[in-house]
Structure formats: C-alpha cells, structure tokens
Amino acid sequence: MTEESGWPQTDGSTVVTSVSESGASEDNGTAGTAVTAGCAGNDANTIADEAAAQIERLRSSIDNIDMAIVAMLAQRFEVTRQVGQWKARAGFDAYDPQREDAQLARMTQLAHDTGLDPHIARQYLHFVADAAKERHRSIAREIADE
C-alpha cells in the first residue's frame, strides 16, 4: 500500500511524494529522489552533490509555499480589517475571548488532523490574533477621531 501527498506549486505543477510500506520515498521527479547513505558505488562527492541538488529543489518548494502563505495572510488581514471597522462602528471591544477560545480549539484540532505540531498552530493563532486586535484598536481610534 502506498500513501500519497501533494502540494501545488506556483508554476502550476504539483509536488507528489509517495511513501511505500517499507518507508522508502519516491516522487514524480519534481521534488527529486531520496539519497540513501552507504549505497555501494556512492562516493562522498556524489552524495554531497545529490544532497545539494535535493536541498535546492526543496528550498524552491518552500519558497512557493511561503508565497502562498503571504498571499493568504494578506487576504486574511483584509477581512480582519473589515471586522475591525464593524467592531469600531458598533463600539465592540477588539478582544473577544469567546472567539479566541473557539479559534484556539479549532486550530488545535486542525493541527492534530493535519499532523502539525499543535504548538506551532497556537503560535500562529496568537500571532494573527494579536496583530488583528492591535489593528482593530487602531481602526477604533481612527473612527473615534472622525
């Protein structure tokens, strides 16, 4: 049995990595192939060259993922800006503890479901929630000054 996972790239391709029952990794040629240390005929230079090529391909994937994350953050903060405007107009506080508690539970579950360390998901949530609250407070000050 083989499990497959994929990640879309900004160039339209998809990196697909398959892991067989034996734990050996294979790919579709986009992300490269795994280096097996200790194989007969592989000298240190060949392994180092292959490692450098693999790292370069993986870093390219990381760059593509970072571009997607930044674009999504821009969209997220545009929506939170709108939330901040509505909160300010209605006189609501920037901090909504019930929403943050619900978000924390949701993000922790998402982390578990996707195999992400829940601590990383919580750090992300604290980062975006703190930034959104600060922005909401700024918006409220601007609206109060009008």
pLDDT in tens, 20-49: 333 333 344 444 444 444 444 558 889 999
In the block, tokens 């980062």 appear at 127
Q: What is the DSSP letter of 2?
A: E
SS3 119: helix
pTM of the model: 0.65
SS3 36: coil
DSSP H/E element including 18: strand 14-20
Taking only the tens place, the pLDDT of each residue in 91-129 is 999 999 999 999 999 999 999 999 999 999 999 999 999
Domains of the chain: 35-145 (1.20.59.10)
SS3 109: helix
For the chain, percent of residues with pLDDT exceeding 90? 68
Q: Stretch 75-100: mean pLDDT, rounded? A: 96
Q: Which residue in 109, 110, 14, 104 sits closest to 64, CA to CA?
A: 14
- Pairwise CA distance, residues 118 & 31, whole Å: 27
